[in-house]
Amino acid sequence: MGKKSGGPHPVSANNPCPFLRALVATGELADDREPLAKVAAVVAATARAGDGRPVLPRMAVYAIGSVANGLGPLSLADTQWHGLQLNALRGGPLDKKGVGSGLLDARGAIDAKEVSRLRGFAKEKTNDDGSSELGLGLPELRAYMDANFARAAGRRRSIDRALMIGEWPVLLNVMGKEGPGGRYLGLQDVIDLFKNRKFPERMNKRLRARS
């Protein structure tokens, strides 16, 4: 793996997943159809570039991807036969439809007000090398998810809270850093992922070393 030649690849606004958006931007996945098996393999391989070589089981990623474009029989069959359509995920069954962080708007652009709000949940974290930065450990992420779910009262679904658990704790596992106080997500790493569609450079180095 590793970044393909040229600059960042364009990413459709109809792909609301920050992790997949980064994979499209780096050229690891296309901005249209990709076989489910390839999506699962690329996501799992990218996860292993995280600190401690986190494991995202391919079959779990495959299963999630198989329903991401729709739950109807025709949609399920289309995804199995023709692949996951990454530029048609918005509005699908796994899209929280605005019930969530709100960091990305419907155009795929980052919302500065929501970044400031996220910053309010971050706390000073110490890394293993002794340096410190703003970050979010599991307690901060739980508080953030609870607040996001609470503010969506009247338009949320019960599944939306479960979808949040499938996003933030997974990002913590994949992109988190180990510190004396436990694993945490660096705030700047989160901003770079959502705004610039970039993984942390320490992950990119490991990915380049494998290519």
pLDDT in tens, the chain (211 residues): 544 556 789 999 999 999 999 999 999 999 999 999 999 999 999 999 999 999 999 999 999 999 999 999 999 999 999 999 999 999 999 988 888 899 999 899 999 999 999 999 999 999 988 899 999 999 999 999 999 999 999 988 888 988 999 999 999 999 999 999 999 999 999 999 999 999 999 999 999 998 7
Q: Does 119 lie in the same domain as 49?
A: no
Q: Does 181 lie in the same domain as 137?
A: yes
Q: Does 18 lie in the same domain as 49?
A: yes
How far apart are the C-alpha atoms of 65 and 112, rounded to whole Å? 29
pTM: 0.92
Q: Which domain holds residue 160?
A: 111-196
Number of domains in the chain: 2
Let me know: does 135 contact 185? Beta carbons within 8 Å.
yes
Q: Does 115 lie in the same domain as 82?
A: no
